[in-house]
C-alpha cells in the first residue's frame, strides 16, 4: 500500500504555522508571514518509513502546491494522513472529501487536537474515515502496518471510526513514556528548495524540534496540558544533542524548539546548554518559556550556548485577568524576566491575548501599556478564543451550546475575529477586533522601535528578515488580514 502524509495548502492564507500537535496554530500577516517545517507530520512520516512502509511526505503548504493539484494526486495513494486543528478541520475535511472523490477507495486519517477532543464531531464530517486521538506516531504506525498486511486494524487503541452507522471509539493508546524511543526526524523527506521563513530566526536554514511533551501550566484557554496528559515527559539531553549534531551535519544553522515550555526544569536547561557548548556545534536557537521558569543565571548560560531569543506567553498585563484564566504567573515575574533577558543579551517575544475572561476596555489599555513597559523585541497580539479541550470552551459551551464544535473560528478569521468573547468579557466583538490592530500600531509604529530595529541589523539576512516581516506586520496594522 502507498501512504501519503500530507500538510495541505489553504484557500484562506499563504502561511500557517500548523505544526504543534495540540493545535495552537497561527497564520498570516499578523505573525510577519512566518512559516515552519511541519515537524509533527514529519515525525509521523518518519515512523512510517522506519516501519518499512511505502510513504511519501508532501508539504503542499510549504511548496505552495494548489489544492487542485493535491487532490489530483489522490489516485496515487491508498491512505492519506493529515493533522488538523479546530481552526482548520472544516477545510481539511473538505480536502479529504475531494480526494475521495478522485479515489473512492482512499482511506483518510486525521490526528490532532480536534479529533482528540471531539472525535464524534470530526467523524461526522464527510471525507473523514478514521480519527487518531492524542499522540499519533505509534497509533498511525500500528494501523498502517495492519492495513499493509491485510489484517484487521479496527482493534488498534487510540482510534475512532464509523461502522454500520455507529461511531466506534477505541480505548486510548498509552502515552509514549520514553520519548528517546522516537526516531530523529527524517529531514530528507522535507521538500527540496523550500526555504521556511520565520522573522524570529536569524540563521537559515532552520528546523523546528520538540524535546518534551506537556506543560507545567494549566491555563484555562490552552489545550496543551489536556492533550498531553497530566505528567510532563522529556527526551534526555544526550538524545537531543545527538539529533542536533545530525541536523548540523546536514547544514541546518538554527533550531526553533517548539516545546510548550522548553525551560520547565532549570537543571535540565543548564545541562542542555553546557553539553551544547561542549559539542562545539555551530547552531543558534530559539525556545518557548514561562516567565516563572527562568532566572538571570540561566538566561546568561542560554545566551552562551547560542540562544538568541526566548518567547513568553505574557497574555495580559492585569493580574486579575491572569488569575481568572489560571495562568499561574505574576505580573512582577514578567517584569523581572524581561529585565533579566535584556541584561543577558537575549531577545524576547511576547505573546499577548486580548479579550480574555473578565476583559474590559480599561484592562486592554493596561495590557498594552504593560507591553510597552516591558518592551519586548517583538510582540504578537491576538484574540483569546475558546477551543475544544479547554476549560474555557467547556464553560462557554455549557451556556451557549450553539458554539457547536468551535470550528466557526477558521483560518479566515483566526486570532483576529472574535468568537463568543462578548459572553465572558465586557467589550464588544467589534471593539476587540479593532483593539488588536490598534495595539500593533502602538507598539510597532514608535520611532524608538524603528531606530532600535535598525541598530539590530548586522547582516544582509537581517535586512531581508526585518523588511519581509515588517511589511507584513505594518500591512496588518493598517488593513488587517
What CATH number is associated with residue 430?
3.80.30.20
Q: Which of 169, 184, 215 is the C-terminal boundary of a domain?
A: 169
Same domain, 102 and 204: no
Question: Do 324 and 443 lie in a common domain?
Answer: yes
What DSSP character marks residue 183?
A: P
Contacts of 309 (CB under 8 A, 6+ apart): 200, 286, 346, 347, 348, 349, 377
Q: Is 436 in the same domain as 363?
A: yes
If asked whether residues 230 and 131 sit together in one domain, one would say no
- Looking up cell 486525521 gives 110
Owning domain of residue 62:
2-169
SS3 81: strand
pLDDT at 131: 98
- What pLDDT is stored for residue 152 in this prediction? 95
Same domain assignment for residues 417 and 270: yes
Q: Are residues 225 and 361 in the same domain?
A: yes
Separation between Cα atoms, residue 192 and residue 215, nearest integer Å: 33
Q: Count other C-beta atoms under 10 Å from residue 267's C-beta.
A: 8
| In the chain, % of residues over pLDDT 90 | 69
Grid cell for residue 130: 478514521
Rounded Cα–Cα distance for residues 284 and 350 (Å): 20
Integer CA distances (angstroms), 122 to 67, 74, 107, 117, 224, in order = 21, 21, 15, 9, 19
Whether this model's pTM surpasses 0.85: yes
Does residue 70 sit in the same domain as residue 140?
A: yes
Assess whether 329 and 440 both reside in one domain.
Answer: yes
Angle between the 429-444 and 460-479 helix axes, to the nearest 10 degrees?
150
Going by DSSP bridges, is the β-strand pair 130-132/166-169 parallel, antiparallel, or unpaired?
Answer: unpaired
Question: What is the pLDDT, as a whole number, of residue 463?
Answer: 65
Q: Where are the alpha helices (DSSP H) in 150-265?
A: 224-227, 237-249
The pLDDT of residue 467 is 64
- Dihedral in degrees, nearest 10, Cα atoms 278, 281, 283, 289: -30
What is the predicted pLDDT for the residue at 46? 98
Query: 277 lies in a domain?
Result: yes
Residue partners of 63: CB distance under 8 A and separation at least 6: 191, 194
Mark whether 164 and 241 lie in a shared domain.
no
DSSP-derived 3-state class of residue 145: helix
Name the residue with cell 481552526: 87
Overall number of domains in the chain: 2
Judge whether 174 lies within some domain: no
Per-residue cell: 32: 510577519
Residue-by-residue DSSP string for 384-432: ----TTSHHHHHHHHH-GGGTTSTTS-TTTTTTS-SSGGGTSSS-HHHH
pLDDT of residue 276: 98
In this predicted structure, what is the pLDDT of residue 313? 95
The kind and range of the H/E element at 477 are helix 460-479
Q: Say if residue 367 is in the same domain as residue 240.
A: yes
Low-confidence residues of the chain: pLDDT under 70: 12-16, 23, 25-34, 410-417, 457, 460-481
182 found inside a domain = no
Each as own residue / partner, the long-range contacts of residues 140-144 (CB below 8 Å, 24 or more positions apart, any chain) are 140/44, 140/47, 140/48, 140/81, 140/109, 140/111, 141/47, 141/48, 141/51, 143/109, 144/1, 144/3, 144/48, 144/51, 144/53, 144/79
Are 138 and 209 in a shared domain? no
Amino acid at each position: 500500500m502507498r501512504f501519503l502524509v500530507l500538510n495541505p495548502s489553504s484557500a484562506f492564507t499563504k502561511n500557517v504555522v500548523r505544526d504543534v500537535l495540540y493545535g495552537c496554530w497561527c497564520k498570516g500577516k499578523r505573525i510577519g508571514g512566518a512559516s515552519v517545517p511541519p515537524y509533527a507530520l514529519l515525525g509521523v512520516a518518519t515512523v512510517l518509513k522506519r516501519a518499512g512502509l511505502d510513504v511519501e511526505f508532501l508539504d503542499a503548504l510549504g511548496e505552495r502546491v494548489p489544492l487542485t493539484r493535491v487532490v489530483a494526486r489522490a489516485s496515487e495513494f491508498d491512505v492519506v494522513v493529515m493533522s488538523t486543528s479546530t481552526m482548520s478541520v472544516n477545510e481539511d475535511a473538505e480536502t479529504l472529501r475531494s480526494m475521495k472523490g478522485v479515489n473512492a477507495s482512499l482511506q483518510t486519517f486525521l490526528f490532532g487536537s480536534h479529533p482528540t477532543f471531539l472525535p464524534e464531531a470530526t467523524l461526522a464530517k464527510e471525507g473523514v474515515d478514521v480519527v487518531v486521538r492524542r499522540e499519533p506516531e505509534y497509533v498511525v504506525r500500528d494501523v498502517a502496518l495492519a492495513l499493509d498486511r491485510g489484517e484487521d486494524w479496527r482493534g488498534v487503541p487510540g482510534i475512532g471510526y464509523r461502522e454500520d452507522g455507529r461511531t466506534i471509539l477505541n480505548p486510548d493508546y498509552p502515552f509514549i513514556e520514553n520519548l528517546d524511543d522516537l526516531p530523529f526526524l527524517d529531514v530528507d523527506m522535507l521538500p527540496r528548495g523550500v526555504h521556511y521563513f520565520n522573522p524570529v530566526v536569524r540563521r537559515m536554514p532552520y528546523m523546528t524540534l520538540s524535546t518534551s511533551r506537556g506543560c507545567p501550566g494549566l491555563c484555562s484557554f490552552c489545550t496543551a496540558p489536556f492533550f498531553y496528559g497530566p505528567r510532563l515527559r522529556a527526551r534526555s539531553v544526550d538524545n537531543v544533542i545527538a539529533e542536533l549534531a545530525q541536523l548540523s551535519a546536514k547544514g541546518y544553522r538554527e533550531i526553533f524548539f517548539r516545546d510548550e515550555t522548553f525551560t520547565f526544569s532549570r537543571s535540565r536547561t543548564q545541562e542542555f546548554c553546557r553539553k551544547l557548548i561542549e559539542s562545539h556545534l555551530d547552531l543558534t536557537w530559539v525556545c518557548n518559556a514561562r516567565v516563572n521558569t527562568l532566572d538571570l543565571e540561566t538566561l546568561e548560560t542560554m545566551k552562551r550556548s547560542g540562544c538568541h531569543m526566548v518567547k513568553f506567553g505574557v497574555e495580559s498585563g492585569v493580574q486579575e485577568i491572569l488569575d481568572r484564566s489560571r495562568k499561574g504567573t505574576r505580573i512582577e515575574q514578567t517584569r523581572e524576566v524581561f529585565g533579566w533577558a535584556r541584561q543577558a543579551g537575549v531577545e524576547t517575544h511576547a505573546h499577548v491575548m486580548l479579550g480574555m475572561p473578565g476583559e474590559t476596555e480599561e484592562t486592554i489599555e493596561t495590557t498594552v501599556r504593560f507591553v510597552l513597559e516591558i518592551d519586548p523585541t517583538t510582540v504578537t497580539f491576538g484574540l483569546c478564543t475558546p477551543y475544544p479541550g479547554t476549560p474555557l470552551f467547556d464553560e462557554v459551551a455549557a451556556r451557549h451550546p450553539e458554539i457547536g464544535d468551535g470550528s466557526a473560528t477558521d483560518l479566515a478569521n483566526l486570532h483576529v475575529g472574535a468568537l463568543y468573547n462578548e459572553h465572558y468579557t465586557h467589550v464588544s466583538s467589534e471593539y476587540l477586533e479593532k483593539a488588536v490592530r490598534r495595539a500593533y500600531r502602538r507598539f510597532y509604529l514608535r520611532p524608538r522601535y524603528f531606530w532600535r530595529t535598525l541598530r539590530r541589523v548586522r547582516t544582509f539576512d537581517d535586512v531581508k528578515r526585518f523588511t519581509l516581516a515588517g511589511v507584513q506586520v505594518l500591512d496588518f496594522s493598517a488593513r488587517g488580514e
